[in-house]
Amino acid sequence: MSEATQVSLWEATAAPAPITPTLQGGLRAEMAIVGAGFTGLSAALHLAEAGRDVVVIDAQAPGWGASGRNGGQVIAGVKDDPDVLEQRHGNSMVATVGSGPDLVFDLIERHDIDCSPVRNGWLQLAVSEATLRVASARAAQWQARGVPVRMLDAQEASRLSGSGVYVGGWLDHRGGTVQPLAYARGLASAAQRLGARIFGGSPAIGLTREGDGWRTETLQGSVRAATVIIATNAYTDRLHDPLRRSVVAVPSYQIATDPLPEALRATILPEGQSVSDMRRLLRYFRTDAAGRLVMGARGVYGDAPAAHAMRRQLQAVREIYPQAAGLAFPYRWGGMVAVTPDHMPHLHALAPGLLAGLGYNGRGVAMATVMGRVLAQWAAGSAPEALGFPVTPLSPMRLHAFSRLGVRAAVQYFAARDALERR
Ligand SMILES: Cc1cc2nc3c(=O)[nH]c(=O)nc-3n(C[C@H](O)[C@H](O)[C@H](O)COP(=O)(O)OP(=O)(O)OC[C@H]3O[C@@H](n4cnc5c(N)ncnc54)[C@H](O)[C@@H]3O)c2cc1C
């Protein structure tokens, strides 16, 4: 996808970016964070709230990465369902991943972040009887833990989504939506107000052990800090090559209309939930504060013409909302999702005092915010076993260089399975 053809809805409608100068000269801080997306900014905000001296550096600007480009769907949980999570990692892990939406909406309220928060729930909608059974088991597991969720039959799924293609699903009342770039910028401003120093346009190009701490080099400066958190997710570069090779960056793409005409707005997501469907190559959609329809699905690698990716998104609109198929979609943009082989987020100690959290598999609005809090607690001295999230060894993929081929093959396979399932 060519960057030149991107017109991001979130860029067009977010409050202005906070001022984040380029880092020049040498600085000292207690903690340094590389990457100013939800992970790095949540870590910075939690550390600043705890009175710690923190510096954040980003190659571009707060929210420039996936955090400013995503669907803004605030979703609880990870790929594994609660029973499996509990078996593998215990109760506290279920609580940690389930707490994401509470944390997001609480931070927004406490720090008065202007990002159009809506908390009317998240719909996961089934495209087949088989996926409906998965939804039913998932909902039952959360329900058994006292979480406010409920199953939907085809009629209710159709009423809430405004689409006739789903056979049912479940509604998770914990979920909601935000304007993601505005949320990222708001986290940055809140951290700054509490004393965090944030620098943009300052790519970290070297990390060196120095005494008991680390020296992070940027193009025009450096930060010395006892602890460094790397929070670069799908945009991880050769600053830490094994970390880069522990995830596969997969493109995702969105399009959005102008505000929908009243008659359409009354039928499409009338109660303001957001949706992820249960196709293997999922589609995710919502409306924004002004009533625009925002549709997302897998994107394309490289500089393929945007028109090629647009066709796929328009096809999704025609299938799901034929009533909106004639509308113009003036906004189109994309970003990279970090996918891990086990589809779980990962928390690592890369070296003494060098921490990282990444790999949200397209579920990072809530989960990266939680990971930021976990990283902040760890950096501030909590024992790893008290974090409510497992610390795992880094495992770079041996054939990472071929990961794009693997993604393409998997996409073709999943597309075929999706097509079969709809028959
Ligand atoms: C199109 C799209 C739609 C999505 N939709 C949803 C959704 O609806 N709901 C959901 O929960 N999740 C969604 N996600 C996933 C979610 O956006 C991410 O999981 C989350 O934003 C990751 O946040 P992060 O802070 O870890 O990384 P990012 O926000 O990607 O931030 C990484 C930052 O690191 C910086 N960086 C990289 N290298 C360096 C360096 N060497 N020096 C300095 N800075 C560096 C980059 O400039 C970037 O700003 C979506 C993702 C995409 C791409």
Distance CA 314, CA 321 (A): 10
Q: Is the CB of 186 under 6 A from ligand 1?
A: no
Q: Cα of 70 to ligand 1 centre, how many Å?
A: 8
Q: Is the CB of 59 under 6 A from ligand 1?
A: yes
Query: Residues of the chain with pLDDT > 70: what percent?
Result: 92
Q: Cα of 72 to ligand 1 centre, how many Å?
A: 12
Atom 20 in ligand 1: which residue has the minimum CA distance? 364
Q: Is the CB of 203 under 6 A from ligand 1?
A: yes
Distance CA 26, CA 406 (A): 42
Instruction: Quickly tell me which residue has 């509990």 as its tokens.
Output: 86
Query: Residues of the chain with pLDDT > 90: what percent?
Result: 83
Report which ligand 1 atom has the smallest distance to the Cα of 35. 34
Find the helix or strand (DSSP H, E) in which 209 lies.
Answer: strand 204-210
Distance CA 169, CA 158 (A): 10
Neighbours of 259 (CB within 10 A): 14
Q: Is the CB of 268 under 6 A from ligand 1?
A: no
Q: Is the CB of 340 under 6 A from ligand 1?
A: no
| Residues 83-138: tens digit of each pLDDT | 999 999 989 999 999 999 999 999 999 999 999 999 999 999 999 999 999 999 99
Find the helix or strand (DSSP H, E) in which 108 lies.
Answer: helix 100-110
Q: Cα of 279 to ligand 1 centre, how many Å?
A: 23
Please give the single-letter amino acid code of residue 159.
R
According to DSSP, residue 236 is labeled -
Comparing CA positions, the residue from 182, 180, 188 lying closest to residue 33 is 188
| Coil vs helix vs strand at 163 | coil
Using 50, 70 and 90 to split pLDDT, how confident is the model at 76? very high
Tokens linked to 184: 């990222």
Find the helix or strand (DSSP H, E) in which 15 lies.
Answer: none
Residue 308 backbone dihedrals phi, psi, to 5 degrees: -65, -45
Q: Is the CB of 229 under 6 A from ligand 1?
A: no
CB within 8 Å of 237: residues ≥ 6 apart: 59, 203, 244
Report which ligand 1 atom has the smallest distance to the Cα of 37. 25
Please give the single-letter amino acid code of residue 153.
D
| Residues 150-207: tens digit of each pLDDT | 999 999 999 999 999 999 999 999 999 999 999 999 999 999 999 999 999 999 999 9
Q: Is the CB of 40 under 6 A from ligand 1?
A: yes
Tokens linked to 372: 């930021």
Report which ligand 1 atom has the smallest distance to the Cα of 254. 1
Distance CA 197, CA 223 (A): 11
| Residues 201-237: tens digit of each pLDDT | 999 999 999 999 999 999 999 999 999 999 999 999 9
Neighbours of 112 (CB within 10 A): 9
Contact 371, 217 (CB under 8 A): no
Contact 291, 303 (CB under 8 A): no
Report which ligand 1 atom has the smallest distance to the Cα of 284. 8
DSSP annotation string for 263-326: HHHTTSSTT--EEEE-SSS--EEEE-TT--EEEEEE--STT--HHHHHHHHHHHHHHH-GGGTT
Give per-residue burial for 140-170: e unless 16+ CB within 10 Å, then b: ebbeeeebebebbebebbbebbbbebbbbbb
Contact 293, 313 (CB under 8 A): no
The alpha carbon dihedral of 419, 407, 38, 360 has a sign of positive
